Amino acid sequence: MIQLIKKQLGFIHPDDKKERTESLCIVEGKVPSVLVFPLSMHIGAPAEPVKKIGDKVKIGTVLAKASGKISAAIHSSVSGEVLAIEKRQTVKGLAECIIVKNDLKDEKEVFTGKADKELTRELILNAIQEAGIVGMGGATFPTVVKLDPPPGDTIDTIIINGAECEPYSTSDHRVMVEYSDEIIKGIQLTRRLFPQLKRIVIGIEDNKPDAIKALQLASKEYSDLSVQSLRTMYPRGSEKNLIQDITGREVPTGGLPSAVHCVVMNTSTVRAIYRAVTLGEPLYQRVVSISGTPIVEPKNLLVRIGTPVDFLIEQCGGFNMPPGKLLSGGPMMGKTLVDGSVPITKGTTTINALTFEEAHVGNTSDCIMCSECLNVCPVNLQPILISEAFERGEIEKANKLGAMDCIECGSCSYICPSKIPLLENIRGAKAAIKAKK
Ligand code: SF4
Ligand code: SF4
């Protein structure tokens, strides 16, 4: 699928395929006439609708509220009217969504930001929660929970994740180049939450020299804030890898970064924090890369949450050949989309179209016990053993082998000469373990 150049233990180096979009400025995407808001576009409990069919909404109106500690509010990204609340195709499969008809007036709620001098820890956390911010690098964990770690987990290091190691993805890259000042302002707000903070590091892969330069310039007056250039390797951007690379600390199995006194946040998330706290703006739009060989004119688009994928592909000139596969995310960690009606959510970094050739991984054969999948696993799992346990229905064994620690980087599937669908099986094992619990 992607040509392997070289690998080292725990890492691989796929061709990053970023050249078609990495230098393209972000442009505002067109807005469709109907938008689809999944109630579950984050990790945790689905949001609970607070609007009903026929209700009028504006940009920023809360459509659904958080329904528990680990959940997030969802806001309308257009003005108009609630058309339906029903199941639609989403990146997580068929799921409950709120459908909004756009009246094309773009009326906004009044966004009230907080003045710097009135900001307290509680006000900052409340603003982040009310804005519905979740990890925008794809993890979609509610940010307010991440920024309020368990008592005893003191934070001395904030790591801003600008690695963006997934092939084809350039949305964070462009945000770093074009909105570096907003990222730094978001970091300055976040640091107030951690009185014992000693150090802030922005980690960026060395294939983005312009992003490194932009953030070095924007942060030059802060002596405890540094920009660290990271050697381009996959999956450099996984939380555990970043923490190890930057601090030398190892997150324990099943543990959170806060257990080793770190908080890791994606660059777009930090920018969203600035916009929520200072401008009062909820998370209703984000930057998405639309790329891949079958796309006529790839772009980095500023997209309203809820926009169907095929509407965006149309803005990129459509396809120059029938695509073999459509992914939300890149080819390593992305999820296959059943069709182009699936909407953009808070965690959509990239829409990637693959050719038939790229999508066809080849026929599966027996494991030849080459150990390659073990060598490349960045969290030291034994992917083949977990995969086999899942295939035999031995879910408890898969759990004991550490399936839940898998970060779903896809390196094992990518490297496997026998084309065994290791990631697919491990994802299946994780789902079965969760269901059992
Ligand atoms: S997908 Fe999971 S098991 Fe496979 S290499 Fe990545 S972390 Fe390891
Ligand atoms: S990489 Fe594939 S063939 Fe090699 S040990 Fe792992 S599963 Fe078996």
- Tell whether 201 is covered by a domain: yes
Nearest C-alpha to atom 2 of ligand 1 is from which residue?
Answer: 406
Once rounded to an integer, what is the mean pLDDT over residues 298-309?
A: 98
Q: Can you spell out the DSSP letters for 182-228?
A: HHHHHHHHHHTT-TT--EEEEEEETT-HHHHHHHHHHTTT-TTEEEE
Is 238 found in the same domain as 159? Answer: yes
How far is 368 from 387, CA to CA, in rounded Å? 14
Which of 279, 298, 333 represents a domain boundary (last residue)?
A: 279
Nearest C-alpha to atom 6 of ligand 1 is from which residue?
Answer: 409
Is 290 found in the same domain as 214? Answer: no
Please give the number of the atom of ligand 1 that sits closest to the Cα of 235.
6
Our answer on whether the CB atom of 281 is closer than 6 Å to any ligand 2 atom is no
Once rounded to an integer, what is the mean pLDDT over residues 67-73?
A: 94
Please give the number of the atom of ligand 2 that sits closest to the Cα of 371.
5
- Tell whether 346 is covered by a domain: yes
* pLDDT computed for residue 6 by the predictor: 38
Q: Which domain, by its residues, includes 160?
A: 113-279
Is 264 found in the same domain as 154? Answer: yes
Summarised one tens digit per residue, pLDDT across range 124-143 is: 999 999 999 999 998 899 99
- Tell whether 312 is covered by a domain: yes
Summarised one tens digit per residue, pLDDT across range 270-290 is: 999 999 999 999 999 999 999
Ligand 1 centroid to Cα of residue 144, in Å, is 27
* pLDDT computed for residue 4 by the predictor: 40
Once rounded to an integer, what is the mean pLDDT over residues 175-195?
A: 97
User: Are 256 and 182 a contacting pair, CB within 8 Å?
Assistant: no
Once rounded to an integer, what is the mean pLDDT over residues 309-338?
A: 96
Is 311 found in the same domain as 335? Answer: yes
The CA-based diameter of the chain, rounded to the nearest angstrom, is 64
Nearest to 76 by CA among 96, 56, 91, 61: 61
Ligand 2 centroid to Cα of residue 385, in Å, is 10
Query: Residue 177: which CATH number?
Result: 3.40.50.11540
Give yes or no for residue 108 having a pLDDT over 70.
yes
Number of domains in the chain: 4
Which of 52, 71, 102 represents a domain boundary (last residue)?
A: 102
Query: Residue 317: which CATH number?
Result: 3.10.20.600
Is 125 found in the same domain as 61? Answer: no
- Tell whether 313 is covered by a domain: yes
Is 158 found in the same domain as 202? Answer: yes
- Tell whether 11 is covered by a domain: no
- Tell whether 3 is covered by a domain: no
Is 354 found in the same domain as 369? Answer: no
User: Are 411 and 234 a contacting pair, CB within 8 Å?
Assistant: yes
Ligand 1 centroid to Cα of residue 377, in Å, is 5
- Name the packing angle between helices 422-436 and 383-391 (round to 10°): 60
- Tell whether 184 is covered by a domain: yes
Is 213 found in the same domain as 152? Answer: yes
Is 425 found in the same domain as 400? Answer: yes
Is 127 found in the same domain as 259? Answer: yes
Is 257 found in the same domain as 125? Answer: yes
Which of 338, 359, 380 represents a domain boundary (last residue)?
A: 359
Q: With bands split at pLDDT 50, 70 and 90, how would you rate the model's confidence at 9?
A: low
Give yes or no for residue 1 having a pLDDT over 70.
no
Is 164 found in the same domain as 52? Answer: no
Angle at 223 between CA 219 and CA 229, to 5 degrees: 60
260 φ, ψ to 5°?
-115, 30
Summarised one tens digit per residue, pLDDT across range 387-419 is: 999 999 999 999 999 999 999 999 999 999 999
- Tell whether 19 is covered by a domain: no
Does the predicted model carry a pTM greater than 0.85? yes
Sheet-wide strand order for 225-230: 225-230, 199-205, 157-162, 262-266
Once rounded to an integer, what is the mean pLDDT over residues 83-110?
A: 97
Our answer on whether the CB atom of 420 is closer than 6 Å to any ligand 2 atom is yes
* pLDDT computed for residue 143 by the predictor: 97
Ligand 1 centroid to Cα of residue 341, in Å, is 29
User: Across the chain, what does the average pLDDT equal?
Assistant: 94
Q: Which phi-psi region, left, alpha or beta, contains residue 194 (left: φ > 0; alpha: ψ -120 to 50)?
A: beta
Segments of 245-393 assigned E as strands: 262-266, 285-291, 299-304, 325-328, 335-336, 350-354
Q: How many secondary structure helices (H) and strands (E) does the chain include?
A: 14, 19
Summarised one tens digit per residue, pLDDT across range 331-351 is: 999 999 999 999 999 999 999
* pLDDT computed for residue 414 by the predictor: 92
Give me the residue label for tokens 């528990």: 68
* pLDDT computed for residue 255 by the predictor: 82
